Chains A and B, each alone.
Chain A
Amino acid sequence: MTSLHGPISNETLWYTSRATGVVSMVLLTLIMILGMVITSMRRPYSSAPTVVMALHRWLSLGTLGFLALHVGTAIAETYVKIDLIAAVVPMASEFQPKLVGLGAVALDLLLALIISSLLRHRLPERGWKLIHFTSYLMWPAALLHGFQLGTSDEPLLRAVTVACAVLGVMVLGWRLFATTHDRRRREDVDAGQWR
């Protein structure tokens, strides 16, 4: 195996995989937060939603690069045996099937989210929305995968994972409970009889 990769040592691959995994996790958290901010915003409000939306989209595409590196190096390195199938099919890995499987679930969902968003103009709005809701599964799966597998023996890296989780949950709480003038008025109106 090592001969295939020439000068790149197995160790480099292993560290690259972990580093890109952590970066992906941070980026996914940021994308989730931006997404929740977009849905909570009243629009059209100012130019801010446009900027937030563009960041959300471009970061999502950019994260794919880090993830490709993360998955590619994880397959290439030989400390533990993870093959291409294990990277996309949950529980197919010999090494830590559950934890690697979580990563595979997150990867699959992310691909579905991105492909459906690229085809959004061809999909019914409700279908796209349903698929997009799976991001609330994708993000925790990715975090748990990172927490248990990649950053378990490094306090600093583990702190990054925990910070991502805390920040994301805080924004999720704000998303669920924060109210706007618009939302309050709609709720008032809906309290009346409409059926």
Chain B
Amino acid sequence: MRAHEQALVHALHAARLTGRGGAGFPTSIKVAALFDNEADLIVNACDGERGAAKDAWVIEYHLREVAEVVELLCAGGSRTVWWAAHRGSSTAGRLAEVGLPLLEVPHRYVSSEGSALVNLARTGVAKPLELRQPTADGGRDSRGRRIEPTVVFNAETLWRIAQIMQYGPAWFAAQGTDEEPGPRLVSLSGYLSHPTVCQTQTGVPLSELFATAGGLPSDAQMILIGGLGGGFVPAIHVPGLAWGRQWLAPLGAGVGSGVVEVLDPRLCPLVFMGQLIDYAAGESAGQCGPCMFGLPALADQWYRLVVQRNSPEEFEHLWHGVQQRLDLLRGRGACHYPDGVSGWVRSGLSVFAEHIHAHNQGFCPTGGHQPARR
């Protein structure tokens, strides 16, 4: 590692910047691995999580800074760079417009996961890799093909690196909570008058976040934080909550990739969940058993629990069955996709328990349509 590279790694370590794609891995370690292994680089601007819009925002307003950091990380162009965005998205259009090397990602949930992007760039298939070491170290894929060292950075993370270089690590670390320092972007979507991407930090009350999107509507009842890998938070809890792990973790949610979606209170939440569970089951890359079989099985059990009217004993049995399935999925899958989905469904079962019971009695508290099977 050369002196200026060493200095950058130290600055990132002092700033305690973590990846903004959702996993929250220390960026200094990744950058050091990039330099050590002379790895190639992928900029993840996919906004892969449900409701995410911040990567598009970064590319639209801060592409110059991101490109400068990429230039620096890649030693002035001696290493390969890919800019990853979903095929046909506005982000892809913008990247192509300025002539950056675009990696067109298919519209699949798991395809924007880091190792899936590496796989796409290296072998042309956008499925998560099962490597026994970080992609930054390279290795062989499950078919024995050699994968060259590749590091994936979220677009916002690279923009944060530019800011740390400009304003210094102290400026960065002074923002947010001590546990999760630094400025952050949060995508606000769903039942809001002005869905937006807001610039904020941990420790800021949720109500302030919603204020940037025209305020949380008074009739809003439920909020999904963290998309398919997150959890539901009832709107009544919002006044006591702030953005950050310490507030959200007890409710089964987290900061993740910074997505907040307000559910439309006029729609039956079980219809919403059913559609998403079906979607989740269809997004498996068909590589790990818990994902390719577990998620469709979970969808089946969910519909049996929610759609048909069951006797109390049957209901108890089905409810227990879903819980057992969720326990089986916890922590599973090479890319942790079934793990994330199981946490999300568990959260839904918990916050919508009364609603599910009401459906079993034959009525819907929302007064909306009954959830129909596919």
Q: Chain A binding site: helix, strand, loop or mixed by DSSP?
A: helix
Q: Mark B301-325, 1 if CB is under 8 A from A, else 0.
A: 0000000000000000000000000
Q: How many residues on B have C-beta within 8 angstroms of the other chain's C-beta atoms?
A: 19
Flag if B144 contacts A125 (CB, 8 Å): yes
Which single member of B106, B143, B286, B292 contacts A193 (CB below 8 Å)?
B106
Residues of A within 8 Å of B127, CB to CB, are 194
Q: Give Cα A2 to B48, complex, Å.
A: 80
Which single member of B108, B120, B140, B292 contacts A192 (CB below 8 Å)?
B108
Q: Give Cα A181 to B125, complex, Å.
A: 23
Which single member of A127, A189, A190, A195 contacts B126 (CB below 8 Å)?
A195
Flag if B284 contacts A124 (CB, 8 Å): no
Say yes or no: is B107 at the interface (Cβ < 8 Å to chain A).
yes
Known contacts A190-B286, A194-B127, A195-B126: does B108 contact A129 (CB below 8 Å)?
no
Residue of A nearest to B120 (CB): A195
- Interface core residue of B120, B140, B144, B285 (most chain A CB under 10 Å): B144
| Count, A-B residue pairs, CB within 8 A | 39
Say yes or no: is B2 at the interface (Cβ < 8 Å to chain A).
no
Flag if A126 contacts B286 (CB, 8 Å): no
Q: Give Cα A194 to B111, complex, Å.
A: 8
Q: Give Cα A5 to B80, complex, Å.
A: 69
Flag if B140 contacts A194 (CB, 8 Å): no
Residues of A within 8 Å of B107, CB to CB, are 193
A residues 91-134 in Cβ contact with B at 8 Å: 124-127, 129
Q: Give Cα A189 to B285, complex, Å.
A: 6
Residue of B nearest to A189 (CB): B286
Q: Give Cα A185 to B292, complex, Å.
A: 7
Known contacts A124-B140, A129-B144: does B284 contact A194 (CB below 8 Å)?
no
Q: Mark B270-310, 1 if CB is under 8 A from A, else 0.
A: 00000000000010111000001100000000000000000
Flag if B286 contacts A188 (CB, 8 Å): yes
Flag if A185 contacts B106 (CB, 8 Å): no
Give 6 closest A-B pairs by Cβ, nearest first.
A189-B286, A126-B144, A125-B144, A193-B106, A186-B286, A185-B292
Q: Which residues of A contact B (CB under 8 A)?
A: 124-127, 129, 181, 185-186, 188-190, 192-195
Pairs A–B under 8 Å by Cβ, sample size 25: A124-B140, A125-B140, A125-B144, A126-B143, A127-B144, A181-B293, A185-B286, A185-B293, A186-B286, A188-B286, A189-B284, A189-B285, A189-B286, A190-B286, A192-B108, A193-B106, A193-B107, A194-B106, A194-B111, A194-B125, A194-B126, A194-B127, A195-B120, A195-B124, A195-B125
Q: Which residues of B contact A (CB under 8 A)?
A: 106-108, 111, 120, 124-127, 140, 143-145, 282, 284-286, 292-293
